Amino acid sequence: MKFNVLAASTAIALGLAAGSACAAAQLDQPAPTFTAQSAAGGTISLDAYRGKTVVLEWTNHQCPFVKKHYESGNIPSLQKEATAKGVVWLQVISSAPGKQGHVDGATAQKLNAERGAAPTATVLDPEGRIARQYEAVTTPHLYIVAPDGKLVYKGGIDSIASNKKEDIARADNYVKLALNDLAAGRKPAHASTQPYGCTIKYAD
């Protein structure tokens, strides 16, 4: 049954992506810019981080696939490792009001503290505007923007599409590999991969 649920989730994600007339977030092209509310107050602008590598992580704390990567410490560890090297890590929460995963800024910060998460900042996107710009379809769904502002990675966090924590150690962590490639001056070997997880909870 778990496999069927996963298969359905992946199929929905593929359908949403295929249904778009054209990709808003194209590899090797300038990443869509945005300015949005920060969970800590004030606003966050992607343009403010030009000159730095930026990771965008779509998240929903109630999604079993997100729980897998947070409860195991996988994503928090990756956040800490990346930010220690000067990478900017932005969580993006695009769940609409009344939908699974919707939180206000204070709750988002409390959740991160409880989970040992360490993003640079958390972006609130309840209207789904940024998610639609990037054609994000799942949580988690990750993107990497190079210092020159171009999108160089989009897809899943790793190579095993499951909600089982024990699969993490066996998987290829695509985000970590892509960040390592960038740090070494190389284009990511796996620049576009299949995202997996829960569908983003857009407004009806």
pTM of the predicted model as reported, rounded to 2 decimal places? 0.89
Mean pLDDT of 103-128: 98
Q: Residue 112 sits in a domain of what CATH number?
A: 3.40.30.10
pLDDT digit string, tens, across residues 172-196? 999 999 999 999 999 999 999 999 9
pLDDT band at 113 (very low <50, low <70, confident <90, very high): very high
Lookup: tokens for 155: 């897809």
Q: What pLDDT is stored for residue 21 in this prediction?
A: 35
pLDDT higher than 50, residue 102: yes
pLDDT digit string, tens, across residues 139-185? 999 999 999 999 999 999 999 999 999 999 999 999 999 999 999 99
Strands 88-93, 54-58: parallel, antiparallel or unpaired by DSSP? parallel
Computed over every residue of the chain, the mean pLDDT equals 91
Residue 71 corresponds to which amino acid? E
Give SS3 for 179: helix
Number of domains in the chain: 1
204 belongs to a structural domain:
no
Q: What pLDDT is stored for residue 87 in this prediction?
A: 98
Give SS3 for 2: helix
Q: What pLDDT is stored for residue 1 in this prediction?
A: 36
Residue 81 corresponds to which amino acid? E
Burial class (CB in 10 A: 0-12, 13-18, 19+), 69: buried
Q: What pLDDT is stored for residue 46 in this prediction?
A: 98
Q: What pLDDT is stored for residue 24 in this prediction?
A: 73
Structural domain for 7, as ranges: 2-199
Q: What pLDDT is stored for residue 2 in this prediction?
A: 39
- Adjacent-strand bridge partners of 199: 138
35/192 Cα distance (integer angstroms) = 25
